Amino acid sequence: MEWIEEEVEISAVEGLLNSGYEVEVDSPDGWVGVNFYIHKGDFEEYVLECETGERVSCNEAHLFETYSGWVSAKDLVDTQPFPVLTSHGFVRSKVQKSGKTIPIVDINVNHPNHRYYTNGVSSHNTGVGKSLFMCHHAAACLMQSKNVLYITLEMAEERIAERIDANIMDITMDELQDLPLEMYEKRLLSSTRGVSGKLIVKEYPTSFANANHFRILLDELRLKKQFTPDIIFVDYINICSSARFKHGNNINSYGYIKAIAEELRGLAMERDVPIVSATQVNRAGFSSTDVELTDTSESFGLPHTADLMVALITTDELEKAGQIMVKQLKNRYNGKAANKKFIVGLNYAKMKFYDIDSELSEDLMDANIKKGEDDGYGAGYGAKDFKSKFGGKRDTSDWSI
């Protein structure tokens, strides 16, 4: 294969991909492959200018890499000059609104750090919504009076907390930013009235923390805050580290990611707590409208270890309708036949999913179960039946050895 190195506009990437070329872009992690190209629509323009001359036009949600982690362009307007990561290192920069509306495009890259250089400035790529999915479910568990621990290795803990707040209070991120402190406290108190659960968000550097760090964190929270989580979210598994292996020491990505998954599963069993995380699909999966387990990126050892896996699938039609498809890929607790695929509504502004009354969703659900399919492995072990079958202690008085 012959590689051609050439500097092109981001708009040229779409044509190259459509022509069958494999495209790689420069990033802080070296050259990384491009999975897909997306038209996001027309947005108000925000402009980042660096002291060294780099300039990026973007929308308010564009993420730049700073000393404090990933920060959106909107949060950097009217601030003092701040350092952002560029191809020259961290450089002081400023963001201003231009007052114009421009078309916004983005790419998705095949690397666990999700970043690439836009005109020499480190930018975060677009995604389907891994963090949004976990933030929504963290908020849902919290509202059921569960203790929730959210561990983030990608996004700043303040950004995670903001997303969960917006979800709980059913307001947009913009409205949350504009709320005065007193009104914010009153609204949050009103939204969580009767809720006894607690939420703790803990941030670790990317590729730094492993299961042993999480084990120590759980011990500290129990001793110092009398906090024991009912569920743990790890955002996300591919950018954790292994407690047993060092990346690059004669171990490939298959073995390394599988080791991380095994260590997290071991921690979940040890502490009797479910752990929820996320991963990416590979390049074939990004271009597929029907993702399978084989489309898991980096390591097929991850689905070997996981107990339950679902895929979030989007298409141009679903994106325009504000919807997303969920597909069960693996389920050790029940048969996959029931609700194998379904569609839910997606509100990015409020960071939440919601049920929809959609003919498309009903057609999918009808097609999920064929006659006799629900009589196989896992049948009869739904949530309502589980407690009656396994909730009580077994009478062992008549057991003999």
Kindly state the tokens that stand for 42. Answer: 């027309």
Tokens 């504000």 belong to 322
Same domain, 189 and 238: yes
Instruction: Give the model's pLDDT for residue 41.
Output: 64
267 and 359, same structural domain?
A: yes
pLDDT for res 3:
73
- Residues in a beta bridge with 42: 103
The neighbour count for residue 35, using CB atoms within 10 Å, is: 23
Can you list the alpha helix ranges (DSSP code H) found in 73-208? 130-143, 157-169, 173-178, 181-191
Which residues constitute the domain of residue 60? 11-124
Kindly report whether the global pTM for this prediction surpasses the value 0.75: no
Quick one: 27 and 87 in the same domain?
yes
Average pLDDT per run of 10 along the chain, which is 401 residues long?
Answer: 72 78 88 76 86 90 82 84 92 92 80 82 76 90 95 84 91 83 91 91 88 95 95 90 81 86 94 91 68 79 88 77 85 77 84 77 53 42 43 45 37
Both 67 and 170 in a single domain? Answer: no
Q: Are residues 268 and 339 in the same domain?
A: yes
What is the model's pLDDT at position 374? 43
CA distances from 56 to 17, 102, 176, 297, 300 (A): 23, 12, 26, 30, 37
Residue 394 lies in a domain: no
pLDDT of residue 380: 42
Give the pLDDT confidence score for residue 46 in this predicted structure: 92
| Burial of 57 from C-beta contacts in 10 A (0-12 / 13-18 / 19+) | middle
- What CATH number should be reported for the domain holding residue 244? 3.40.50.300
Nearest-angstrom CA–CA distance, 97 and 75: 12
CB 115 within 8 A of CB 109: yes
- Residues 6 or more apart whose CB falls under 8 angstroms from that of 319 comprise none
DSSP secondary structure letters along 85-100: EETTEEEEEEEEEEEE
